[in-house]
Amino acid sequence: MINRVGVIGGGTLGSQISWIIALSNIGVVVIDVDDGILGKCKYMHEEYAKLFNEKGIDTEKALNNICYSSNLEDVKNCDLIIESIIEDLEIKKDLFKKLSVIVDKKTIIATNTSTLLPSELKDSVKNNERFLALHFANPVWEAGFAEIMGHEETAEEVINEIREFVKEINLEPVILEKQQRGYLINALLIPWLSSAQKLYFEGVADYKEIDKIWKLATKSSLGPFEIMDIIGLKTIYNVMISDAKRLKDKRLLQRAEKLKKDFLDKGLSGRQSGKGFYEY
């Protein structure tokens, strides 16, 4: 049974993942090497508490269930560790090698990577039969699901334990039978967002026009650029860079750099910062 969870990375998704776990009365330690990010994570938890209080949910216990640390050793007694750091293969590998020295052999280690496969990371984990991908969507509680994807050596009992954990934190588990880059949701979502990015960054149409035609044609409440603001433009940028390197796509790399120059370098990172493509 999972009674204590370590979440490594206190950014947008890390703060949401740790919150939804704490809300289910499970102890959580959030780890980040950047004290500034830890401070922002704590602030976001206080904001989430206000949001859930407005829904009539008592959040006092949830806030007390979370602690914060910049010391990786503080995940030592966790039953489950969820990595939610930058989409960089080598940085993730280095983290998993360090974790393998610290944690108990019974600890389950999960990656929240959006683009990498668990098989690309498993050799960095000592007990890799207890390693898998556990992917959350943003915002976690509105999405309402978590995707579970093992690799060829992941133990079936680990898949089952994580399935029950996802249910315990009031999300719907979605199991992938084989590895798929981008899981299910991103395998569907990323090509759509990429098409919208191409139209905008190559000057075909303004992002508002692209969102407008999508919503008119599909009767959807959100267009692709509104979705990108919700995901967070830093995450979008990291995915674009990762794909550009993997595919050796110079045009995708140029679009990523333009996103960085026109938005991220100006502090426009999406809904959480108050402004991205749109102002909130």
pLDDT of the residue at 107: 97
- Over residues 162-176, the mean pLDDT reads 98
pLDDT in tens, 30-42: 999 999 999 999 9
pLDDT of the residue at 138: 85
Longest dimension (CA), the chain: 54
Q: Comparing C-alpha atoms, which of 232, 230, 227 is closest to residue 207?
A: 227
In whole angstroms, give the CA distance from residue 28 to residue 58. Answer: 18
- Over residues 232-243, the mean pLDDT reads 89
Q: What is the pTM of this model?
A: 0.83
Is pLDDT larger for residue 114 or for residue 203?
203
158: three-class secondary structure by DSSP:
helix
Of all helices (H) and strands (E), which one includes residue 266?
none
**CA distances, 48 to each of 14, 20, 138, 223, 271 (Å):** 13, 10, 14, 25, 14
In whole angstroms, give the CA distance from residue 66 to residue 29. Answer: 6
Residue 82 has pLDDT above 90, yes or no: yes
Of all helices (H) and strands (E), which one includes residue 19?
helix 12-23
Number of residues in the chain:
280
Indicate the average pLDDT of the chain.
95
Q: Comparing C-alpha atoms, which of 112, 120, 115, 81 is closest to residue 98?
A: 81
**CA distances, 167 to each of 77, 118, 150, 171 (Å):** 22, 22, 18, 5
In whole angstroms, give the CA distance from residue 175 to residue 134. Answer: 10
Q: Comparing C-alpha atoms, which of 105, 72, 242, 245 is closest to residue 83?
A: 72
DSSP letters for 194-235: HHHHHHHHTTSS-HHHHHHHHHHHH--S--HHHHHHHH-HHH
Residue 273 has pLDDT above 90, yes or no: no
Range of weakest confidence among 50-54, 149-153, 186-190, 194-198? 186-190
CATH topology of domain 189-270: N-(1-d-carboxylethyl)-l-norvaline Dehydrogenase; domain 2 (1.10.1040)
- How do the domains of the chain map onto residue ranges? 4-175, 189-270
In whole angstroms, give the CA distance from residue 102 to residue 95. Answer: 11
Pairing of strands 27-31, 80-83: unpaired
What is the rounded (10 degree) CA torsion for 208, 213, 214, 219? 120
pLDDT in tens, 89-143: 999 999 999 999 999 999 999 999 988 999 999 999 999 999 999 999 988 999 9
In whole angstroms, give the CA distance from residue 254 to residue 100. Answer: 37
In whole angstroms, give the CA distance from residue 264 to residue 261. Answer: 6
Residue 75 has pLDDT above 90, yes or no: yes
Which CATH class for the 4-175 domain? Answer: alpha beta
In whole angstroms, give the CA distance from residue 279 to residue 209. Answer: 16
- Rounded percentage of the chain residues whose pLDDT exceeds 70: 100
